[in-house]
Amino acid sequence: MKNLFSLEGHKALVTGANAGLGQAIAVGLAQAGAEVVCAARRAPDETLALIDKAGGRATALALDFANPMAATGVFAGAEFDILVNNAGIIRRADAVDFSEADWDAVMDVNLKALFFTTQAFAKELLAKGMSGKVVNIASLLSFQGGIRVPSYTAAKHGVVGVTKLLANEWASKGINVNAVAPGYIETNNTEALRADPERSKAILERIPAGRWGRSEDIAGATVFLSSAAANYIHGAVLNVDGGWLAR
């Protein structure tokens, strides 16, 4: 039997690949054999160096999803068959003070850009009769409310809904659309939480695994959903949270 988890011969676009989860995902896909295009607003030089060190193949692509249509011209003739929608931003304020500008900025990057990037990717595959994999990065806040992040929570709920809708439309056409929902991961976004002894203790007490997640944990799940091992998985949301949502 062939290696079901190998991505040899595949080409992936990873958005937001310059740091954090996006960087780990890009490296993981490259280590599995995929040719990876690292799309980001800032140059993903560190990501490219890590992939090169691991013996993988990668190039950079400058994209700023403040324009939700930024990637719509990327796929024509480019032979991509894996798309990972990871790019995202967050704005924090009490709901009574939250501004329209912050609402629109987060929704544009985290949801509108995700949809129209995926639409452009699928149009190219469908026109050529090709199969492909889409992995959207959701969140624990796809299922919970959180506090002081109204647009982020709304967008991440939307990511799950869009994932299921697109899976319904495209499963019979050979395009798998799934999502990964990260829990509390050791990234720059959680640095303040981890540095606060009380908050960190409360979070760790809720996680059955008893530790913060690592970016590589999300990379592994993404490689799986991008591989032939996930060919019959459509519309799933894989919680990679150390058991948080099961608690």
Asked if 176 and 227 count as a contact pair (C-beta separation under 8 A), the reply is: no
Active-site residue identified among 65, 152, 184, 212: 152
Q: Which is nearest to 219 in space by CA: 75, 49, 7, 57?
A: 7
204 alpha carbon, distance to own chain's centre: 24
What are the phi and psi torsion angles at 38 (to 5°)?
A: -95, 105
Asked if 162 and 220 count as a contact pair (C-beta separation under 8 A), the reply is: no
Cα-Cα-Cα-Cα dihedral of 178, 183, 188, 189, to 10°? 90
Asked if 5 and 226 count as a contact pair (C-beta separation under 8 A), the reply is: no
Alpha carbon distance 169, 41 (integer Å): 30
152 is catalytic: yes
Count Cβ atoms within 10 A of the Cβ of residue 9 and give its class: 0-12 exposed, 13-18 middle, 19 or more buried. Answer: exposed
Count Cβ atoms within 10 A of the Cβ of residue 101 and give its class: 0-12 exposed, 13-18 middle, 19 or more buried. Answer: exposed
Neighbouring-strand partners of residue 17: none
Alpha carbon distance 22, 217 (integer Å): 12
What secondary structure letter does DSSP report for 147?
S
Residues assigned a catalytic role: 152
